[in-house]
Amino acid sequence: MFDTVIRGGTVVTAADTIRCDVGIAGGVVTALGRDLGAAREVIDAGGRLVMPGGIDSHVHLSQPSGEGIVMADDFASGTRSAAAGGVTTVMAFCMQESGKSLRAAVQDYHAKAEGRCHVDVSFHLVISDPTEQVLGQELPALVADGYTSFKVFMTYDGLALNDMQILQTMAVARETGALVMVHAENYDAIRFLTTQLEKQGRTAPFYHGASRPIAVEREATHRAISLAELVDVPIVVVHVSNREAMEEIRRAQSRGLNILGETCTQYLVLTEDDMQGLNMEGAKYVCSPPPRDRASQEACWEGLQTGVFTLFSSDHCPFRYDEQGKLAPKGRTSFRWVPNGIPGVAARLPILFSEGVGKGRIDLNAFVALTATNHARTYGLYPRKGTIAVGSDADIAIWDPERRVTIDNASQQHGADYTPYEGFEVTGWPVLTMVRGKVVMREGEVSASAPEGIYLSRGHSAHARPGGSGRKAR
């Protein structure tokens, strides 16, 4: 007897598209087949797609964001939004604050997440202060404990690491088999351009983009790749926004380097023109790197289609459009102070489905790979997560591929008071989200019962191993 059978749907994985039932017991998939037997609950999926729940490996929740600024989502609201959008696992950044220990940050984040998550969660570590103690003791111990990925920033006051620090951090990743994610923008170039723009009185949010043009991202991407090559480690260049950075990654890959690329929803469907004439309201679109132009959108699609980018994420980093967020008093004096980031964990899958699968840019199997399977492989969760197979967690999203929805803020169910995708029309929508066999969202209603999401300790990335694997296996 199954706990649940999902009957009559089309099951899609990164590899296959098959008409079959899914049998679930004890929170895992126990059978795939035709006319599966009795179950306590039967879910009719006739005419629907049955896909692995989305994994969003790039999400910011409850992150310290500067004086007086509060992130709009904590683990409760952020994971509610994830469930609404067909996502069953989110990987959030656990931010080390300068001068503090990494272990303390991890404990802090567990306290924030514990008992509050509607979907499963895991943490990447953000290394902002790579002291000897952090690199020599804390980080190796944390990797051994299942925190197998960390992010370094090449820009931002209080976060930017210099090249020496990045090399030292990458060396620890090499030794321990962890995966380094890189925010690639040139810090000094941004500071120089920001100062110039301010001198010219160009302080409105619109000028945020001009303070970090494509060359800023391209140069840092090239440098990050070079540093990784020197150390012989794989890296993920995250949130890539344009052709030049994409081609740096492509070139590295064609040279046999193990460089991974990620792009995000905003780089496919937003442009800098969305901020034209908006004055302060342009702050709603301020994120880094900034969305660019139509040609950049095409380049990001090309990256997804050709395998240069294997990860498609939201970079959900939500702030309210009020004085605790985008309109913080300092932020009104210059774009320099506007918190960077936009919400999008619930919009990611419908937008990629509609614009990608619906418009013939990618097929269904690529959709699953880009939104679930590759994230699980890259960050050490596969095959428990990221597929529908016997023995895998029953993390499933059921989609109505024909449903037409105009995205609005209410549909996102996040803590922000706006969505940058307001009015965007999609065809295809997740109608049920299941985490480890439990339905957490049905027809937009996120379950009101106590959240049962758990923390996931992770293994090594499929792309990394202790001792260096900066070159792709031949």
Question: Could you list the residues that contact Zn ion (CB under 5 A)?
Answer: 183, 315
Give whichever of 60 and 80 is closer to ligand DUC, judged by the CB atom.
60
Among ligand DUC, Zn ion, none, what does residue 250 contact (CB within 5–8 Å per kind)? none
The neighbour count for residue 452, using CB atoms within 10 Å, is: 16
**Cβ atoms within 10 Å, residue 55:** 29
Q: Residue 340 binds what, of ligand DUC, Zn ion, none (CB under 5 to 8 Å, by partner type)?
A: ligand DUC
Among residues 67, 50, 148, 65, the alpha carbon closest in space to that of 339 is found at 65
Tell me if 266 contacts ligand DUC by CB under 6 A.
no
**How deeply is 200 buried, as exposed, middle or buried, from its count of CB atoms within 10 A (0-12, 13-18, 19+)?**
exposed
Beta-carbon count within 10 A of 222 CB: 17
The option from Zn ion, ligand DUC, none interacting with 284 (CB < 5 to 8 A, set by class) reads: none
Query: First CA to last CA across the chain, in angstroms?
Result: 46
By CB under 6 A, the residues from 24 to 53 that bind ligand DUC are none
**Given the complex with ligand DUC, which of 183 and 377 has the nearer CB atom?**
183
**Which residue's C-beta sits nearest to Zn ion?**
183
Distance of closest approach, residue 467 Cβ to ligand DUC, in angstroms: 28
Binds 374: which of Zn ion, ligand DUC, none (CB < 5-8 Å by kind): none
Where do the H-state alpha helices sit in 270-321? Answer: 294-306
Q: Which does 316 bind (CB under 5 to 8 A by kind): Zn ion, ligand DUC, none?
A: none
Which of 48, 80, 174, 183 contacts ligand DUC by CB under 6 A?
183
Question: DSSP for 25-57?
Answer: ETTEEEEEESS---EEEEEE-TT-EEEEPEEEE
Chosen residue from 21, 120, 138, 315 binding ligand DUC by CB under 6 A: 315
* Bond preceding residue 289 cis, omega within 30 of 0: yes
Cβ–Cβ < 8 Å for 339, 69: yes
Task: Check if the beta carbon of residue 86 is closer than 8 Å to that of residue 435.
Answer: no
Tell me how many residues contact ligand DUC (CB under 6 A).
Answer: 9
Compute the distance between CA of residue 99 and CA of residue 128 in angstroms, rounded to an integer: 9
Nearer to ligand DUC, 149 or 340 (CB): 340
Partner in contact with 225, chosen from ligand DUC, Zn ion, none, beta carbon below 5 to 8 Å by kind: none
41 vs 157, beta carbon nearer ligand DUC: 157
Closer residue to Zn ion in complex, CB, 317/397: 317
* Cβ at position 265, least distance to Zn ion in Å: 12
What are the structure tokens assigned to 167, written together?
């090399």
> What are residue 126's phi and psi, to 5 degrees?
-105, 120
Shortest spacing between CB 151 and ligand DUC, in angstroms: 7
Q: Which of 81, 340, 433, 469 binds ligand DUC (CB under 6 A)?
A: 340
Instruction: Build a one-symbol-per-residue string for 285-304: x at contacts with ligand DUC by CB under 6 A, - elsewhere.
Output: --xx----------------
SS3 136: helix
Q: Could you tell me the CA-to-CA distances from 265 to 170, 312, 341 in Å, in that order?
A: 28, 7, 12
**317 touching ligand DUC, by CB under 6 A:** yes
- Alpha-helix runs per DSSP H in 177-210: 187-199
CB of 462 vs Zn ion, minimal distance in Å: 22
- 341, 380, 428, 437: residue in contact with ligand DUC (rule CB under 6 A): 341
How far CA 309 is from CA of 148, 249, 319, 346, in Å, comes to: 20, 9, 27, 21
DSSP, collapsed to helix, strand or coil, labels residue 360 as coil
Tokens representing 183? 């925010």
Distance of CA 448 to the CA centre of its chain: 25
H or E element at residue 124: strand 120-126
Picked from ligand DUC, Zn ion, none, the partner binding residue 348 (CB below 5 to 8 A depending on kind) is none
- Rule CB under 6 A: choose which of 118, 239, 250, 460 binds ligand DUC: 239
Assess 310 for contact with ligand DUC (CB under 6 A). no
- Report the distance separating Cα 29 and Cα 13, nearest Å: 13
Closer to Zn ion by Cβ: residue 183 or 385: 183
- Closer to ligand DUC by Cβ: residue 116 or 151: 151
Which residues contribute to the site for ligand DUC (CB under 6 A)?
60, 183, 239, 287-288, 315, 317, 340-341
